Amino acid sequence: MGADASLVDKLKAQRDRFIAFAFAGADVLMEVDQNGIIGFSTGAGEALYGLTDDDMIGRPLSEFVFPRDRKRFEDCILRLRNTSRLDHTPFTLMGSGGAVTRMRLSGIHLPHLKNTFHVVMSRIPPMASIEVERINGDVDHKGQFIDMVRHRLNEANRIGTDYTLTLFDLSGSNLTSLDPKAAQTFLSTMHTAMEECSVRGDSAGSLGGASFGLVHDDKVPLAEIHKRVSLVAERFADKTKGANIKMRSATLDMEDSSLSDEDIGKALGYIINNFVRDSGTFNMKSLVEGAQLAMADTLTRVRNFRKMIRHEERLVFLFQPIVNVRTGAVLKYEAFSRIDNNGTLFTPNQIIPFATDVGLIGEFDLITIKKALTLLRETGTVSTLAHISVNVSGHSLGNPAFYQTLLKMLEENRKVLGRLVLEITDAAQIFNLNEAKRLLARIRRLGARISLDDFGSGGAAFELLRNLPVDFAKFDRDIIMDAADPKGRSVLKAMTSLCHDLGIVTVGECVEDAATLANLSTIGIDYAQGYYFGKPAADAAKRIVYFTEHIKQAGTAEPGLMTGS
C-alpha cells in the first residue's frame, strides 16, 4: 500500500512539473473533449478572448478561432484524437471586438483519460514585442519572411505574373506607452489585415519588433493596402489611449531575372535589415538594387571582420566567477570576449550578428577557443586551478569545417581540456540536433564539458535536454527575474528539478543582490553568476577566491559555514 501511495505521489509530482513547464511557454491551458468542447480553462484567456475561465466551459473552442483557420483547427483536433499528440500548430484566435491574436496550439491525450484532451496555447511572438530587444520565442522572423518571399518569387516566375514587396514600419509610434496586451492585440490585428491583402492571404509576416512585410499583386492596389492598415489604426484609436500611431512604408519591384537564388536571399536580408534599422532614410526601389548594395557591403564587412580577428592578441577576455550558492566555491570563470582597438576594449555585439549572418561565426568561435586553450596552458592570466568557459554559437555546430578544426584543436590540447567548458549559445538554432549530439559527445569524451547558455528561453528546452549531452544548464536573466513571483518561481523550480533528474548542474545568471541569491538557493539552483559576486575583470581568474561572505550575507551558506568564522 505504501509503495502504491508513493507511486501516486510521484505521478502527481510529475504532472505538476509538466503543467509548470508547459506554462513556461504557454498562455492558456485547457481541457477539451473529442468534439472540442471546453471542460476546463485557466491562464490568460480573459485577456485573449474577453471571457472568464468559467464562461468558457461548455463552449466549443472553434468558436474563438478566426474563420479562415477553422478548417485547420478541425484538422488539429482530428490529429490529436488519432495520434494523441499535437505539436506547435499555428492558428489565429479571435477575441471580442474583432481583435485577433496569433497563437501556437499544442496538445496531448493521456491514455487513462479517454474523452479528455489537454491543450496549451501560446502567443506567436512576431507581433508580440514592443520591447524589441526582448522578443520571446524561438522563431527567426526575418528568416521565415525571406523564405516566404523567395517562394513567392519562384511562384511568380512559374505562372508568369508580377508580385510586389511592401514593407511597413510602426516603430515610430508611441506604442511603448501602451499596456503590453493592448499592444499585442493591435499588432496582431494589423498583421491579419496585411495578410488579407497579400497573395493567397498568407504572404505577410513580421520582420521583428513592429515592422511587417507583405507580398501582393495588382488585385489589391497599394492605396487599398494603406487604407486597410489605416482603418485598423482608427479602430484601435480608443484602446491605444491616444498613442501616436505612425507608419512608414516602402514598395519594391521584385523583378529578379538577373539574380541567383543565393543573391536573392542576400538582397532580401540586406533590404529588410536596412528598412528595420532606419525606415526613414530607406530609398531602395528594387530587388536588383538591393542585391548590388548587399554584395558591396558584405565584401567590405567580411574583409574588415577577418582583418580584425586575424591577430589573436586583439582578443581579450574578461572573467566572471560562477559560484556555488552554498559553499562560495568557484565552479568556473566565464570568459567574456572583448576586442582591443588601440587600447580601448569594446564588446563584439555588433560583429557577432553579422558574422552569424554571413557564416563567419565559426571563425570567431575557433579563435576564441584557441585563445582559451592558450591561457589554460600558460601561467599568469588564469590560475592553474581555475576552469574557464567560452561561448560557442549553435550556428557553428552545423558547420563541418568548424567542428573538424575544433576537434583537431582539442586533440592537440587534451592535457588542459578538463578545465575547459564550451558554453553553447543560440542552441535553438542548431540545424541538425543528431549531428550536434555526436559532436558534443566526442568533445566530452576528450575531457571538455558542455553547458547550455540561456536555457529555458524559447520553446525548445525539452528538445535540447532530450537530445544534447550537457553537463550544465544556465538559466537566462528573464527566467531568474520572473522567479521573484510565485508563478515564475514554480516554473523555475520545475525546470531545475528536471535538470537534476537528468544529472545536469544548474546555474542562475544575472544575480545582482543577496535576495536573488537566496531565492535561487531555495528553489534548488546549484550555482550563481552576476554582479553580486563581481563584474567581469581581466584579472578575476588569476587566483582562486572563495565568496563565503557573500553567501553568508544571503543566508544560503551550509550550516557549518554559517556558524564558522
- Nearest alpha carbon to residue 533 among 558, 508, 565: 508
Q: How far apart are CA 170 and CA 325, in angstroms?
A: 45
Q: What is the DSSP letter of 37?
A: B
Q: How far apart are CA 222 and CA 420, in angstroms?
A: 57
Sign, CA dihedral 52-54-55-60, equals: positive
Residue 316 β-bridge partners? 338
Between helix 141-159 and helix 261-277 the angle, nearest 10°, is 130
State which amino acid sits at residue 447: G
> Which residues in 545-563 are b (16+ Cβ under 10 Å) and which e?
bebbebbeebebbeeebee
Residue 215 β-bridge partners? 165
* Phi-psi group of 347: left, alpha or beta (phi > 0 → left; psi -120 to 50 → alpha; rest → beta): beta
pLDDT at position 92: 79
pLDDT at position 565: 43
Q: For the segment 495-516, what is each residue's pLDDT rounded down to a tens digit? A: 999 999 999 999 999 999 999 9
Q: Could you tell me which residues come within 8 angstroms of residue 559 by beta carbon, excluding any fewer than 6 positions away?
A: none
Q: How far apart are CA 421 and CA 102, in angstroms?
A: 39
What grid cell was written down for 74? 478541425
Segments of the chain with pLDDT less than 50: 23, 126-139, 241-243, 564-565
State which amino acid sits at residue 506: T
How open is the CA angle 386-391-396, to the nearest 5 degrees? 140
Three-state secondary structure of 254-288: CCCCCCCHHHHHHHHHHHHHHHHHCCCCCCCCEHH
- Nearest alpha carbon to residue 275 among 170, 157, 194: 170
Contact 180, 255 (CB under 8 A): no
Three-state secondary structure of 307-370: HHHCCHHHEEEEEEEEEECCCCCEEEEEEEEEEEECCEEECCCCHHHHHHHCCCHHHHHHHHHH
Q: For the segment 449-493, what is each residue's pLDDT rounded down to a tens digit? A: 999 998 876 556 777 888 899 999 999 899 999 999 998 999 999
Strand, helix or coil at 528? strand
- Nearest alpha carbon to residue 237 among 280, 173, 194: 173
Residue 547: phi and psi, rounded to 5, are: -100, 50
Residue 559: phi and psi, rounded to 5, are: -50, -40
Q: How far apart are CA 132 and CA 207, in angstroms?
A: 11
Tell me which H or E stretch contains 390. strand 388-393
What grid cell was written down for 373? 586553450
Q: How far apart are CA 147 and CA 153, in angstroms?
A: 10
Strand, helix or coil at 449? strand
Q: How far apart are CA 46 and CA 96, in angstroms?
A: 10
Q: How far apart are CA 511 and CA 205, in angstroms?
A: 37
Q: In this structure, are strands 449-455 and 420-425 parallel, antiparallel, or unpaired?
A: parallel
Q: How far apart are CA 442 and CA 494, in angstroms?
A: 30
Delineate the domains of the chain, giving CATH numbers in brackets: 2-123 (3.30.450.20), 132-301 (3.30.70.270), 316-563 (3.20.20.450)
Q: How far apart are CA 408 and CA 394, in angstroms?
A: 19
Q: How far apart are CA 215 and CA 264, in angstroms?
A: 15
**Single pTM value for the model:** 0.57
Q: What is the DSSP letter of 177?
A: G
Task: Please name the residue ranges forming H helices in 28-99.
Answer: 45-49, 53-56, 70-83
pLDDT at position 47: 66
Q: Residue 327: exposed, middle, or buried by beta-carbon count in 10 A (0-12, 13-18, 19+)?
A: middle
Residue 338 β-bridge partners? 316
pLDDT at position 138: 39
Query: Cα–Cα distances in Å, from 161 out to 39, 62, 146, 314?
Result: 49, 36, 19, 52
